[in-house]
Amino acid sequence: MDSYSLGDEYNYDGELGAIYSKEKTIFKVWSPKAEKVVLNFYSEGTGSNLIEKKLMQFGDNGVWSFTKKGNLAGIFYTYEVTIDGKTNETQDIYSKAVGINGLRGMVVNLLDTNPDGWDKDKRPYIKNQTDAIIYELHFRDISMDENSGIKVKGKFISLTENASKNLYGEATGLDHIKELGVNAVHILPSFDFGSVDESKINSNQYNWGYDPKNYLVPEGSYSTNAYSGTVRIKEMKQMIKAFHNENIAVIMDCVFSHTYEYEHSSFNNIVPNYYYRQDKYGKVIANSQCKNDTASERFMFRKYMIDAVTYWAKEYHVDGFRFDLMGLHDIDTMNEIRRALDKISPGILIYGEGWNLGNEVTISDDEKATKTNARKLNNRIAFFNDDMRDGVRGSVSNEKAGGFINYNSKWLKGDGKTPYSIAELKEQVKFSIVAAVEHDGVDYSKIPCKSKPWASEPTQTVNYVSCHDNNTLWDKINLTKPDIGKHEKIKMDEMAAFIVLTSQGIPFIQSGQEMLGTKPKLNGGGFASNSFNSSDLVNRIDWWRKHNYKSVVEYYKGLIKLRKEHPAFRMFTKAEIQKNIKFFDTKDSVIGYFILNNANGDKWREIAVIINASNQDEEINLKKSEWAVVVKEEKAGIEMLDMVHEDRVLVNEKTSMVLVNLKK
């Protein structure tokens, strides 16, 4: 037990917060170090409108409680916590509703926040995690463009509008996502975060939201009335229901690794230091680069994380959770979260960032929920596959370094002089094609990052080449290949999408990626790589691009349709991948493999997948004749585009192909 933990006698496994019924509300707060706790009642979420103060009673396990009779729905409250003679008024970390800027909790009758038909809302059915096709979005990005056709911009309900169109009559918003064919959306943080002043909502403040303030409450700036404790809840539920009506799952980005602030946070006001990690000198640890690291290994914060995700899953019908900086959490906590969510629905997705963020952590490397420890975690806890991201498009540590699709010799080895070869990058991409599981067709000695098979099953691998972090795929291509023509760059973009959407594992697409999304800096040229607080003009989806790059959008749609309708591209066990995927010999800049044996119950008996990243056409020996082509150049889908009667096929430069053998 570290010096900031409390004894087991203080562990409390019961319900906390404002426990509401029409007859009474029971308030419970865990604060074992407190000398006194006073409950304050207010008529509004802000201002001088105190109604009364009530002294709470100290009970078992360090829990203070108070019961007030009557229907308190709509009443706001705070706690005054006195520790070591110092008193702080603070918000309840278990508040389920709050006032403006989340400074006061509000007692809420959650039945009043349910939209029409909420009791009949059903989760979309995603049988296996590898069946998910994930689309990452931010509420402002997808709606703020003046050409979006969305009436209420930048809000939860932006994504409830039907029939929104750009100036060319093409679908935008929810209808565009439905048209694209993805079956899951990943929404950037939507809990109440601290970086946006909800009282100045018309000032067009922007933030991704990785700075949590109240974990159990939706963000007020995404509601049409942040002063109302119930509107934000109802509107978030409306958004989720709108996606569910289209059979699209909703995954919530959650940030338990740190909080908006440390010293004056509600967590620290209620139990000083307990919820955060400290070094041996008592200084808060900040591997997260967000000024503080939380302590998932301590009983009550582990409980808090479990309580939070299960609450969102039950009350808001959330279908999955993406964990920011998951490598800062401990393995036991993540496995317990998986078990808790399985009791609600085994289909709930879990994935996160498995980076090892430094040695100054109060848990050992062996205890961290990192990618390298994937086999210690439940095989339905997945990790972002940065091996694919870097192998396909180039290292993120050097924005001008290319990868397999945009090779330019600028990704250097540890000596700072020797570039990685195209052959080495090829092996890294192959490693990702088989979802980072062990496969005898991959030469691991050549992989630039020296990665070993880290995934126990393909359900642990999220494949991507673009997300909100770092440069968009299109910007990265422009940075690495500034001197080539636009048509050649589009070929590279489409090849990257092809690799993501035909590889084993879970595919992940950044919103706008399908229309060559870009984040141009507004001053001085170049592209924004960390646009967390940049303006809408930088971050928005420019819906004009859907029209201008219609063929690219159609290519993405075709690949998504191919994946959805053919389970061979989404095997869910390592054994299946090892049995059914066979790489064949090709030049260093070409990848080719067969998917055999009606893999995963596919009606196609044998599939050939070829990726030609070279600058010349390549003839590929398919060993058999009679192949139907379903992906070729800028066309993709499930319909036959061409027929190859011979045992050889010509694959044009910078293009990919999928062929199906028709011989019985």
Q: Which amino acids are annotated catalytic?
A: 324, 353
Answer positive or negative: Cα dihedral of 397, 402, 403, 409: negative
Residue type, 502: T
Q: What angle do CA 522, 524, 528 make, to 5 degrees?
A: 55
Q: How many Cβ atoms are within 10 Å of 238's Cβ, its own excluded?
A: 18
Q: What is the DSSP string of 465-518?
A: S--SSSS-HHHHHHHH-TTS-HHHHHHHHHHHHHHHHHSSSEEEEETTGGGT--
Sequence letter at residue 530: N
- Residue 620's identity, in one-letter code, is I
Question: Which structure tokens are listed for 30?
Answer: 């865990």
Contact call for residues 314 and 121 (beta carbons, < 8 A)? no
CB-based contact 145:138 (threshold 8 Å) = no
User: In this structure, are residues 183 and 132 in contact, taking their beta carbons and an 8 Å threshold?
Assistant: yes
Between CA 93 and CA 91 the distance in angstroms is 6
CB within 8 Å of 264: residues ≥ 6 apart: 88
Determine contact, residues 528/130, Cβ cutoff 8 Å: no
Which residues fall within 8 angstroms of residue 308, CB to CB, at 6 or more apart? 215, 216, 254, 256
How is residue 368 annotated by DSSP?
Answer: B
Radius of gyration of the chain (CA): 26
- The backbone torsions φ and ψ at residue 121, rounded to the nearest 5 degrees and listed phi first, read -65, 135
CA distance 448 to 264: 44
> Residue 595 and residue 604: Cα distance in Å, rounded?
9
Locate tokens 């010509």: which residue?
A: 650
